[in-house]
């Protein structure tokens, strides 16, 4: 069942939970374009960025920093800074192409991200090595590759590709090389790993604008294998839709999904952060 998160109702986008599940980084929609920190314990909101424009922020594995895209004029590249303000904003990449963060490796030393190829007019997946600031391609084809999500054990990367003619979720060894496994069937986007590496979740467009949430059992060791996708639940038709980067998250205990619910108030777009809870009970409930 959906449950509103605290008193936070504003034009929000792309929420990401901290590793301990107590705070949320979220972007503001509209002309402002700042990143905000929502403290669930205190019910407070504070700005993480106060100039330029940023659309996505993702926590470092230790919860002390966050990486984000940022631009004042020109093209957004990747930066990071301390969540508590103890370290200033620092540039991570330099590129003429748009870049957006995807996910960290568990050791915090590599960051998977997407870059817009202005010539080919599609997205590719690249990897930033934080120690020396070098960037290497992970997947660069004539198709769109997006939503890179590194598994909690750091051995696999889930992503979305349009190679079949529609978006599907795939998994490859990380950092590679190796083959690929298609995880979704009949379309899929926005992959998320469970914190124990045993499941991979993704979203899919359902009927009449509804969002369907699927789960796939995976076995990441010694070699990757996955089961048949199963429908967990169908969300309301006003859930925020995804794009090239994830717009939802999963709680550390693996039992709640954090999403954004769209709405209208005073002719202005308003969003509401919601946690979908007890979904395990829904799928375990006997059929009538």
**To which H or E segment does residue 281 belong?**
helix 279-284
pLDDT at 208: 72
Cα dihedral 260, 262, 263, 267 sign: positive
At residue 17, does pLDDT exceed 50? Answer: yes
What's the mean pLDDT when you consider all of the chain?
86
Give the per-residue pLDDT at 130.
96
- Statement: residue 145 has pLDDT above 70: yes
For the four alpha carbons of 41, 44, 49 and 52, in that order, the dihedral sign comes to positive
pLDDT given for residue 278 in this prediction: 45
Per DSSP, the three-state class of 209 is: helix
| Length of the chain, in residues | 288
Structure tokens at 63: 């919860």
pLDDT digits (tens, 9 = 90+) for 56-101: 999 999 999 999 999 988 899 999 999 987 788 999 999 999 999 9
199: alpha, beta or left, given left = phi > 0 and alpha = psi -120 to 50?
beta
pLDDT at 163: 92
Rg (CA), the chain: 18
Torsion of CA 189, 193, 194, 199, to 10 degrees: 70
Residue 98 is predicted with a pLDDT of 96
On the 0-12 / 13-18 / 19+ scale of CB atoms within 10 A, 127 is buried
Structure tokens belonging to residue 10: 């504003």
Contacts of 94 (CB under 8 A, 6+ apart): 77
Distance between CA 135 and CA 139 in Å, rounded? 12
- pLDDT at position 288 is 32
Lowest mean pLDDT among 10-19, 36-45, 61-70, 137-146: 10-19
Lowest-confidence region among 177-186, 195-204, 239-248, 262-271: 262-271
* pTM reported for the whole predicted model: 0.88
The answer to whether 78 touches 101, Cβ cutoff 8 Å, is yes
Residue 276 CB partners (closer than 8 Å, separation 6+) = 1, 2, 3, 213, 233, 235, 256, 257, 259
pLDDT class of 272 with cuts at 50, 70, 90 = low
Question: Per-residue pLDDT averaged across 143-147, rounded?
Answer: 95
- 97 vs 223, residue with greater confidence: 97
Residues 168-221 pLDDT 10s: 999 999 998 889 999 999 999 999 999 888 899 999 988 777 889 999 999 877
**With the CA atoms of 180, 186, 191 and 192 taken in that order, what torsion angle do they form, in degrees rounded to the nearest 10?**
-110
| pLDDT for the residue numbered 279 | 47
């Amino acid at each position: 069942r959906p449950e509103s998160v605290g008193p936070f109702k504003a034009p929000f986008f792309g929420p990401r939970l901290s590793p301990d599940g107590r705070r949320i980084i979220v972007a503001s929609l509209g002309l402002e374009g700042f990143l905000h920190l929502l403290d669930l314990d205190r019910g407070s909101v504070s700005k993480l960025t106060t100039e330029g424009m940023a659309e996505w922020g993702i926590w470092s594995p230790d919860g002390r920093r966050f990486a984000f895209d940022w631009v004042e004029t020109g093209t957004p590249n990747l930066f990071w800074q301390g969540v508590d303000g103890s370290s200033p904003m620092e540039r991570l990449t330099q590129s003429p192409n748009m870049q957006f963060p995807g996910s960290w490796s568990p050791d915090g030393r590599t960051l998977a991200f997407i870059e817009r190829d202005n010539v080919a007019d599609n997205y590719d997946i690249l990897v930033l090595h934080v120690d020396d600031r070098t960037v290497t391609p992970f997947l660069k084809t004539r198709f769109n590759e997006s939503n890179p999500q590194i598994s909690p054990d750091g051995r696999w990367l889930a992503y979305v590709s349009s190679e079949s003619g529609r978006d599907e979720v795939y998994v490859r060894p990380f950092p590679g090389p190796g083959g690929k496994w298609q995880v979704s069937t009949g379309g899929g986007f926005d992959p998320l790993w469970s914190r124990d590496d045993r499941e991979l979740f993704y979203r899919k467009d359902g009927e009449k604008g509804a969002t369907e949430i699927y789960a796939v059992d995976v076995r990441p060791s010694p070699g990757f294998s996955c089961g048949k996708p199963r429908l967990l639940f169908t969300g309301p038709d006003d859930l925020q839709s995804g794009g090239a980067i994830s717009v939802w998250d999963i709680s550390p205990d693996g039992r709640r999904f954090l999403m954004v619910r769209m709405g209208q108030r005073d002719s202005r777009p308003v969003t509401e952060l919601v946690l979908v809870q007890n979904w395990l009970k829904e799928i375990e409930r006997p059929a009538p």
